[in-house]
């Protein structure tokens, strides 16, 4: 059967239940997502959905409406790399729709790799998120032994120690989070939330024929959890990230995470530069790694966030201004 090279998915409105469910699935209870009264004083006048909701729903929408782009039905295939750019916030009540097109490779299984570009638009036709998905269909997989866990500074940085670009010094800022054991419930609940019922995650008979020999945990869920761990380590119990801007994420599979594995996140600053569009703000590139109970890296990722300089006046009225510029 011929598979399409481009298309548009069924729209989905982001609800109160979506925001609360995503927080429960991942552990990201940041105040701008969860506190209605606090969020009413921010720029957008209300709660903002987690940026990673849109990224997660992108994979779910592709799984539902363009399953060949994420390897459904192909026991040899797996998503190797996913990247996402955050263009504007997703607000409670926004309706999102994914526009996608294949930019490299072809739908036919004879091609070892398939790259799909996607763009998520809201009900006003404005792009909120875009990026690419790289599907590996080579039928070959081996962990990269050269990928080692990040070296950590002598003193881990955590809990309100790093809220400005001056604190995010490469080689100095870094640490390791708590761990979390991935369960059957995590996999099924995330599949239900996103719509990504990939048989490699939920079909035991199919997964046993696949590259990994058993069901694995969705890589998108793994990244979401690692990110939530890191955010808690970054800002502490307050979990108030309203003054920061989530700009870009990219993750790459190193090893599969299997049900029953325990993962934790290692993190460190890689690069800091001044923003070209917002005086007094800077862009920081972070390395995040998920490490399993055997001290093996299972996922390698980079995150770009925008933070203010210590000299920048970021009060409650302006705290919610989303730093989307570069």
Q: 10-34 pLDDT, tens per residue?
A: 999 999 999 999 999 999 998 889 9
Ranked by mean pLDDT, the top range of 69-73, 181-185, 316-320 is 181-185
Looking at residue 11, its pLDDT comes to 97
Question: pTM score, two decimals?
Answer: 0.91
Output the average pLDDT for the chain. 88
pLDDT of the residue at 32: 87
Beta bridge partners of 181: 262
Question: What's the rounded mean pLDDT across residues 221-228?
Answer: 97
Which stretch of 139-148, 197-206, 287-296 has the lowest confidence by average pLDDT? 139-148
Q: What is the pLDDT of residue 187?
A: 98
Q: Which residues contact 312 (CB under 8 A, 6 or more apart)?
A: 164, 280, 281
Tell me if 322 is assigned to some domain: no
Would 315 be classed as within a structural domain?
Answer: no
Q: Find the mean pLDDT for residues 114-120.
A: 97
Give the range of the structural domain holding residue 181, as residue numbers without chain letter.
6-308
Which contiguous run of DSSP H or E holds residue 182? none
> Looking at the domain assignment, is residue 313 inside a domain?
no
Higher pLDDT, 162 or 186: 186
Mean pLDDT for the stretch of residues 96-123: 92
pLDDT in tens, 276-318: 878 888 899 999 999 999 999 999 999 999 888 877 655 433 3
All residues at 6 or more sequence positions from 90 whose CB lies less than 8 Å from its CB, including other chains: 14, 48, 49, 51, 53, 54, 96, 122, 128, 129
Residue 163 lies in a domain: yes
CATH code of 163's domain: 3.10.129.10
Q: Is 72 within 8 Å of 124 (Cβ atoms)? A: no
Q: What are phi and psi of 171, to 5 degrees?
A: 85, -15
Q: Which residue has the higher pLDDT, 4 or 11?
A: 11
Lowest mean pLDDT among 9-18, 154-163, 191-200, 215-224: 154-163
Compare 106 and 10 and report the one with higher pLDDT: 10
Lowest mean pLDDT among 2-6, 91-95, 145-149, 239-243: 239-243
Separation in Å, CA 35 to CA 32, 41, 228, 246, 322:
6, 11, 17, 19, 17
Percent of the chain residues topping a pLDDT of 70: 89
Is 121 a member of any domain?
A: yes
Across the range 235-254, mean pLDDT stands at: 75
What pLDDT does 315 receive? Answer: 46
Domain membership of residue 91 (yes or no) is: yes
Q: pLDDT band for 239, please (50, 70, 90 cuts).
A: very low
Q: Which among 67, 134, 130 has a CA at the least distance from the CA of 98?
A: 130
- Counting the structural domains of the chain, the total is 1
Q: With a cut of 70, say whether residue 320 has pLDDT above it.
A: no
Q: Is residue 44 part of a domain?
A: yes
Residue 160 pLDDT exceeds 90: no
Task: Give phi and psi for 32, each to the nearest 5.
Answer: -65, -20
Q: Confirm whether 74 is domain-assigned.
A: yes
Which one has a higher pLDDT value, 275 or 220?
220
Say yes or no to pLDDT of 241 above 70.
no
């Amino acid at each position: 059967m011929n598979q399409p090279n481009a298309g548009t998915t069924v729209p989905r409105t982001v609800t109160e239940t979506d925001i609360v469910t995503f927080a429960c699935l991942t552990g990201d209870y940041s105040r701008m997502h969860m506190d209605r009264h606090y969020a009413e004083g921010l720029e957008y006048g209300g709660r903002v959905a987690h940026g990673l909701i849109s990224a997660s729903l992108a994979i779910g929408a592709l799984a539902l409406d363009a399953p060949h782009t994420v390897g459904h039905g192909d026991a040899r295939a797996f998503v190797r790399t996913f990247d996402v750019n955050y263009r504007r916030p997703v607000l409670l009540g926004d309706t999102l729709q994914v526009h996608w097109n294949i930019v490299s490779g072809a739908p036919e299984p004879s091609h070892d790799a398939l790259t799909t570009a996607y763009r998520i638009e809201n009900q006003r036709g404005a792009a909120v998120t875009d990026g690419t998905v790289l599907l590996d269909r080579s039928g070959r997989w081996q962990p990269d032994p050269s990928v080692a866990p990040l070296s950590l500074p002598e003193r881990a940085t955590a809990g309100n120690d790093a809220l400005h670009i001056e604190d995010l010094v490469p080689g100095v800022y870094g640490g390791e989070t708590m761990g979390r054991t991935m369960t059957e419930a995590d996999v099924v609940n995330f599949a239900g939330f996103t719509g990504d019922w990939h048989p490699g995650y939920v079909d035991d008979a199919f997964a046993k024929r696949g590259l990994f020999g058993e069901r694995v945990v969705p890589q998108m869920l793994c990244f979401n959890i690692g990110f939530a761990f890191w955010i808690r380590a970054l800002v502490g119990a307050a979990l108030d990230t309203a003054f920061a801007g989530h700009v870009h994420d990219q993750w790459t599979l190193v090893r599969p995470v299997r049900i029953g594995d325990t993962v934790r996140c290692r993190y460190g600053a890689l690069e800091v530069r001044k923003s070209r569009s917002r005086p007094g703000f800077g862009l920081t590139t972070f390395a995040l790694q998920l490490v399993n109970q055997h001290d093996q890296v299972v996922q390698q990722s980079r995150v770009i966030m925008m933070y203010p300089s210590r000299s920048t006046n970021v009060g409650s009225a302006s705290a919610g201004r989303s730093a989307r510029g570069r």
